[in-house]
Amino acid sequence: MLIAGNWKMFKGPAETAAFCLELRRAEVGVADVVVCPPFVSLATAVQLLAGTEIAVAAQNVHWDSEGAFTGEVSPTMLRELGVYGAIVGHSERRQFFGETDETVARRAEAALAAGLSVIACVGETQAEREAGETEEVLRRQMSVLPHDEQLVVAYEPVWAIGTGKTATPQIAQDAHSFIKSLLDAPVLYGGSVKPDNAAELLGQPAVDGALVGGASLEVDSFTAICRAATHL
């Protein structure tokens, strides 16, 4: 079980330091735990979580090791910081920053080649689900992802992200089984995972963990989800 906290654009270095110190003292159980702070807070998180089992990952990564790419951060730069991995293809990047299947694939391949682990996000929108296109969308998004032992997929139905609308355990199970039929990789569920629905979602056989947004911002709710993973 892997529980990853995607902080999105929350917590600068000071708040990150406070969170990590509290997280160090908290009980997280036996799940593999990863936090994904904004770029500017990665160094603080790496330093303060050193010597623990909790890993630190970035929320995005570029495909080149350096170059004229204003605003981007390379896999080698993340490695230099001691970062363990990166999220790629989050739906917010696809929706608001022009991320495409092709750029997601390039980011994933380069990160893996540099020795980072990758959490690659896929998932359909509400309109795509209503049009019966879920499998087609997932097939398309999955088709570009490299086969690699360090690749984890996160199924995040766009309609469930930040909306409080969680996929039912059955919807998650069906989508995860479909994804696993396309690629043999662990699949995390993401989309309004909270302490009170985590056990049910994580209890599905094809659900290998969670990518948690809002509920990962407080140590109490994040560690409650981590502990829910432990008791399965």
Q: Does 59 bind ligand PGA (CB under 6 A)?
A: no
CB of 188 to ligand PGA, least distance (A): 9
Distance CA 213, CA 162 (A): 7
Among 212, 224, 225, 228, binds ligand PGA (CB under 6 A): 212
Question: Given the complex with ligand PGA, which of 47 and 199 has the nearer CB atom?
Answer: 199
Respond yes or no: is residue 90 known to be catalytic. Answer: yes
CA 115 to chain centroid: 17
CB closer to ligand PGA, 92 vs 109: 92
Pick the catalytic residue from 62, 90, 128, 176: 90
The contacts found for 178-185 with CB under 8 angstroms, 24 or more apart, are 178/135, 178/138, 179/122, 179/138, 179/142, 179/153, 179/155, 180/206, 182/138, 182/139, 182/142, 182/143, 183/142, 183/145, 183/147, 183/151, 183/153, 184/147, 185/147, 185/151, 185/152, 185/153
Is 231 an annotated catalytic residue?
no
* Residue closer to ligand PGA, measured from CB, 12 or 162: 162
List 2, 211, 224, 229, residue binding ligand PGA (CB under 6 A): 211
For position 38 contacting ligand PGA by CB under 6 A, the verdict is no
Is residue 195 near ligand PGA by the rule CB under 6 A?
Answer: no
Tokens of 112: 């893996």
Q: Quick one: tokens of 117?
A: 């682990």
Phi, psi of 23 (to 5 degrees): -65, -35
DSSP track, 7-27: --S---HHHHHHHHHHHHHS-
Give the count of residues interacting with ligand PGA (CB under 6 A).
Answer: 13
Strand locations in 59-157 (E): 85-88, 117-122, 151-155
Which of 44, 74, 103, 192 is close enough to bind ligand PGA by CB under 6 A? 192
**Given 92, 99, 124, 156, the catalytic residue:** 156
Q: Segment 151-180, which members bind ligand PGA (CB under 6 A)?
A: 156, 161-162
Closer CB to ligand PGA, 32 or 76, in the complex: 32
Distance of CA 145 to the CA centre of its chain: 15
Binding stretches for ligand PGA (CB under 6 A): 6, 156, 161-162, 190-193, 211-215
Catalytic residue IDs:
90, 156
